Amino acid sequence: NAGVTQTPKFRILKIGQSMTLQCTQDMNHNYMYWYRQDPGMGLKLIYYSVGAGITDKGEVPNGYNVSRSTTEDFPLRLELAAPSQTSVYFCASSPDRAGTEAFFGQGTRLTVV
């Protein structure tokens, strides 16, 4: 049972480059989320999705884009990478909104130089 899988685990980007962080879940969950975690800080919500074809902004969406074409996949796109986007990114999923647990991936550690 894979759960939530993120790729890559590590990546170094140069300023101005772009990349896509992949996230897939095999639990048939409707809700999916992208968070970033900076050292000594709490996780901040970037974008979320309540089902295929539906996405919405979280607390810190600037510089990112998402899509949700299938229930399983929720990729996060970084355009024109900036040093401020250096962080650890976590994808998560949950069955619904009503207080069920969230399942997290292992994270992607991104460094922008």
Query: Which residues are at the interface with another protein (CB under 8 A)?
Result: 4, 31, 33, 35, 40-45, 48, 50, 56, 58-59, 90, 92, 97, 99-107
Least distance between another protein and beta carbon 17 (Å):
24
Least distance between another protein and beta carbon 88 (Å):
9
Q: Residue 12 is encoded by which pair of tokens?
A: 């170094």
What strand order describes the sheet that includes 4-7?
4-7, 19-25, 76-78, 64-66
- Between residues 18 and 97, which has the closer beta carbon with respect to another protein? 97
Least distance between another protein and beta carbon 44 (Å):
8
- Between residues 50 and 82, which has the closer beta carbon with respect to another protein? 50
Least distance between another protein and beta carbon 82 (Å):
23
- Between residues 81 and 105, which has the closer beta carbon with respect to another protein? 105
- Between residues 14 and 28, which has the closer beta carbon with respect to another protein? 28
Distance CA 13, CA 9 (A): 13
